[in-house]
Amino acid sequence: MAWLGSVLWAAIDEGAVPPDAAFHAVPPPSQAGPISTGCGSGGCWREMVVDIKPPHTAQSLAAEMGLASERCEPMNLWTLRKTCTGIADSGGRGLHIYLQYSLLLSKY
């Protein structure tokens, strides 16, 4: 009964976002910056702005962190959703990394 309730709540809770601890560590000398929450028609997400320091570039840092493309962790069996990480378009202003939940029936 508790599991069913958890799954139903996860399915309707569009405002849920992964915790800050779900962000991957940023390799030095670049530094993690502020973390914010945003919401849109597809739900909500967390976004961290990374201050890129030489010798890193946005592309090299993303590759080193394994974020060249969006990736999702294995599904949480308690909520039937996955935590997905990727890079948001920053318009050339640092590296913006996002975290969001993806439900069982999503395309990811």
Range from 2-16, 30-44, 75-89 carrying the lowest mean pLDDT:
2-16
The beta-carbon contacts of 52-59 under 8 Å, at least 24 apart in sequence, are 52/94, 52/95, 53/29, 54/29, 56/27, 56/29, 56/30, 58/90, 58/94, 58/95
- Mean pLDDT estimate for the chain: 81
pLDDT tens digits, one per residue of 10-58:
555 566 788 899 998 999 999 999 999 988 877 789 999 999 999 998 8
The pTM of this model reads: 0.76
Contact 69, 46 (CB under 8 A): no
Q: How far apart are CA 95 and CA 71, in angstroms?
A: 16
